[in-house]
């Protein structure tokens, strides 16, 4: 039997040979949303506004054509006098009558199976124009199968989401159904709505031995689905691979999840032991996909959620994301680096910049740190200090005049041989603004190819890509100097940036490599950034 959102399952089902499949992270599991509506009692529907009312009779028939009381039906007003109506009528006879105002309605009904495992019938009428007494027969015999399955023989259906959104006269209403990914039957009822006004999607999630699958399809027309069959081949799918690092050496089990970026759907999660890898295959027809990873929770420390949203899905193309690995440092966004790290609004200066993003620039939801502080100076005079929340602080400067500001953010993370320190010092001119205005804050990213324990081979040369994010990116850089330390920051060696990278001679096993970048942008704003003990050698 299917079930309706917005209540997402508390946990996903157990997968053969892959261990318990956890509940998706809160940001990775989208509950299906329905438009807010208010029930109008039938007796009041006509008298309250003085509008006409009409009788709507609904007859429910099972797959044998007999009346059934095993159904869940919803009538939602879209436009007209009944636009605020939401009714969930039921009568054990299988026939139910409503008195409703003139208007357009969205009707959907879930007919439950006669036998266990027989599948659910879902009938949707996206356009029900109630302008006279009307009878609608919801007949399970009119439905056709939804058969969407992956190319891997032996893969098991996990769950599915069917969704219909209707737009008319400036209003949007929706209906949805959560069900098994196998055995669903659907049918469109009534006349077609206006072209492009009905958006339908179907997302089926399957669990395989080699990989898991998100098979989603979304399209606009004037009708909902009557049956739907897709059997994509392996080459028709895009691949999203998650690599979970274990840079702190504690192991544990994390979880990865996929979710379509657009529309309403359920996602799919998979557990993986750190360090480890898991793979999802997804359909490009669904558009972009969101990828997320949640670290294991430890006593006294909440799990961290990392997200990689809006990933393009191209048939035959593999996208790999490594989460929670070194080097930890400031980031202005993995994809474009265009997110402002700070703003000036009137006499307030605020910093909101991930200071401990992972090696690929994914920002943790709850960064783990030992201590953190942010300070602001105005023309050399201390404005204030904020402790905690690495890279987040707000200050009131109390004067509208243009001045030279120095903003310093520091975080100490890790312990023992895995201890590291991230520091960024920005200097810039600023005056009071009449609206929220981005501050000219840039960062420098160092992204060496490290193993999943956050280490690199000892005694070897390693090419480390160097990237500038923020206003100084590209032609915005006036100068960039990089220095490298292999003795914990006691001594530093100037290292030229050649073709977007520096070359580091790694120290002996058990050593560390630190980086320092001095950046000046085209307008004279500066950054002095230090990543102490950025990675280790083995």
Per-residue model confidence as pLDDT tens for the chain (538 residues): 444 333 233 233 222 223 323 334 333 333 333 333 333 444 444 433 447 999 999 999 999 999 999 999 999 999 999 999 999 999 999 999 999 999 999 999 999 987 777 789 999 999 999 999 999 999 999 999 999 999 999 999 999 999 999 999 999 999 999 998 788 999 999 999 999 999 999 999 999 998 999 999 999 999 999 999 999 999 999 999 999 999 989 999 999 999 999 999 999 999 999 999 999 999 999 999 999 999 998 777 789 999 999 999 999 999 999 999 999 999 997 544 456 899 999 999 999 999 999 999 999 999 999 999 999 999 999 999 999 999 999 999 988 999 999 999 999 999 887 899 999 999 999 999 999 999 999 999 999 999 999 999 999 999 999 999 999 999 999 999 999 999 999 999 999 999 999 999 999 999 999 999 999 999 999 999 999 999 999 9
- Is 301 part of a structural domain of the chain? no
CA–centroid distance for 281 within its chain = 17
The predicted pLDDT at position 27 comes to: 31
DSSP SS3 for 438: strand
Residues 357, 217 share a domain: no
CB 238 within 8 A of CB 313: yes
For residue 155 the two structure tokens come to: 């893969």
Strand order in the sheet with 171-179: 171-179, 156-168, 198-207, 212-221, 276-282, 238-244, 318-323
Looking at the structure of the chain, the number of domains it has is: 2
The CA distance from 161 to 201, in Å, is 8
Q: Which long-range contacts (CB under 8 A, 24 or more apart) does 334-341 make?
A: 334/308, 334/360, 334/361, 334/362, 335/310, 337/467, 337/469, 337/470, 337/473, 340/438, 340/439, 340/441, 341/391, 341/439, 341/441, 341/443, 341/470
Residues 494 and 364 in one domain: yes
Number of H helices, E strands in the chain: 1, 37
Q: Are 295 and 277 in contact (CB under 8 A)?
A: no
Residue 334 confidence (pLDDT): 53
Q: In this structure, is residue 335 part of a structural domain?
A: no
Nearest of 123, 199, 201 to residue 167 by alpha carbon:
199
Residue that the structure tokens 């098991």 belong to: 156
Q: Are 468 and 444 in contact (CB under 8 A)?
A: yes
269 strand-pairing partners: 257
Residue 315, in any domain of the structure: no
Place of tokens 């990914």: 181
Domain boundary among 234, 258, 279: 234
Full DSSP string of 500-522? TEEEEE--STT-EEEEEEEEEET
Which distant-in-sequence residues (6+ apart) come within 8 Å of 128 by Cβ?
56, 75, 104, 105, 106, 107, 134, 136, 190
Query: Among 234, 255, 284, which residue terminates a domain?
Result: 234
Do both 229 and 346 map to the same domain?
no
Give a yes or no: residue 439 inside a domain: yes
- If one counts every other C-beta atom within 10 angstroms of the C-beta of residue 353, the result is 27
- 453: number of Cβ within 10 Å: 17
How many whole angstroms separate alpha carbon 231 and alpha carbon 155? 13
Helix ranges (H only) for 60-211 are none
The answer to whether residue 217 sits within a structural domain is yes
User: Contact 262/218 with Cβ under 8 angstroms?
Assistant: yes
Clarify whether residues 16 and 141 are in a common domain.
yes
On whether both 374 and 227 belong to a single domain, the answer is no
For residue 38, tell me if it sits in a domain: yes
Residues 6+ apart with CB under 8 A from 174: 32, 33, 34, 35, 106, 163, 164, 165, 166, 264
Q: Which of the listed residues 234, 257, 279 is the one where a domain comes to its end?
A: 234
Q: Residue written as tokens 């691979």?
A: 241
How many Å apart are CA 448 and CA 465, to the nearest integer? 6
- Asked whether residue 320 is assigned to any structural domain, the reply reads no
Contacts of 70 (CB under 8 A, 6+ apart): 62, 111, 112, 113, 114
Judge contact between 372 and 412, C-beta under 8 A. yes
387: containing domain: 342-537
* HSE-CB of 147 using CA atoms within 13 angstroms: 6
Is the same domain home to 498 and 369? yes
277 falls within a domain: no
Q: How far is CA 7 from the centre of its chain?
A: 18
The model's pTM: 0.86
Residue 68 belongs to a domain with what CATH number?
Answer: 2.60.40.1120
Peptide bond into 91 cis (omega under 30): no
């Amino acid at each position: 039997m299917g079930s309706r959102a917005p209540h997402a399952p508390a946990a996903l089902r157990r997968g053969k040979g892959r261990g318990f499949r956890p509940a998706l992270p809160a940001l990775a599991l989208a509950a299906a949303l329905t438009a807010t509506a208010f029930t109008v009692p039938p007796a009041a529907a006509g008298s309250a506004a003085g509008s006409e009312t009409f009788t709507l009779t609904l007859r429910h028939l099972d797959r044998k054509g007999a009346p059934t009381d095993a159904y869940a039906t919803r009538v939602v007003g879209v436009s007209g006098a009944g636009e605020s109506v939401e009714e969930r009528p039921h009568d054990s006879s299988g026939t139910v009558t409503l008195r409703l105002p003139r208007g357009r309605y969205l009707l959907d009904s879930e007919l439950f199976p006669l036998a266990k495992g027989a599948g659910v019938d879902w009938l949707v009428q996206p356009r029900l124009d109630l302008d006279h007494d009307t009878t609608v027969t919801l007949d399970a015999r009119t439905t056709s199968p939804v058969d969407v399955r992956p190319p891997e023989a032996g893969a098991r259906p996990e769950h599915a989401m069917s969704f219909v959104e209707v737009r008319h006269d400036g209003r949007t209403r929706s209906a949805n159904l959560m069900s098994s990914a196998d055995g669903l039957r659907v049918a469109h009822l009534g006349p077609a709505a206006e072209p492009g006004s009905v958006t339908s999607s179907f997302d089926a999630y399957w669990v395989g031995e080699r990989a898991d699958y998100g098979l989603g399809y979304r399209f606009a027309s004037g009708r909902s689905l009557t049956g739907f069959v897709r059997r994509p081949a392996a080459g028709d799918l895009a691949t999203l691979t998650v690599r979970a690092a274990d840079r702190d050496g504690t192991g544990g089990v994390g979880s990865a999840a996929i979710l379509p970026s657009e529309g309403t759907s359920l996602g799919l999660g998979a557990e993986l032991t750190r360090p480890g890898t898991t793979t999802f295959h997804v359909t490009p027809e669904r558009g972009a996909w969101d990828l997320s990873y949640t670290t294991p929770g430890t006593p006294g420390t909440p799990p961290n959620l990392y997200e990689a949203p809006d990933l393009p899905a191209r048939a035959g193309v593999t996208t790999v994301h490594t989460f929670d690995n070194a080097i930890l440092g400031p980031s202005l966004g993995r994809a474009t680096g265009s997110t402002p790290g700070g703003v000036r609004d009137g006499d307030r200066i605020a910093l909101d910049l991930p200071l401990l993003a992972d090696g690929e620039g994914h920002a943790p939801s709850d960064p783990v740190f030992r201590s953190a502080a942010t300070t602001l100076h105005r023309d050399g005079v201390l404005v204030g200090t904020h402790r905690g929340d690495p890279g987040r602080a707000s200050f009131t400067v109390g004067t509208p005049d243009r001045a030279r500001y120095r903003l310093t953010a520091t975080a100490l993370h890790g312990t023992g041989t895995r201890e590291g320190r991230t520091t960024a010092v920005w200097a810039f001119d600023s005056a009071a603004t009449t609206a929220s205005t981005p501050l000219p804050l840039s960062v420098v990213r160092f992204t060496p190819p490290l193993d999943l324990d956050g280490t690199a081979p000892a005694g070897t040369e390693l090419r480390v890509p160097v990237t500038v994010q923020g206003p100084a990116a590209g032609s915005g850089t006036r100068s960039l100097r990089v220095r490298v330390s292999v003795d914990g920051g006691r001594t530093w060696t100037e290292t030229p940036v050649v073709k977007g990278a520096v070359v580091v001679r790694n120290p002996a096993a058990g050593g560390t490599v630190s980086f320092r970048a001095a950046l000046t942008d085209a307008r004279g704003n500066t950054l002095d950034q230090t990543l102490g003990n950025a990675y280790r050698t083995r």
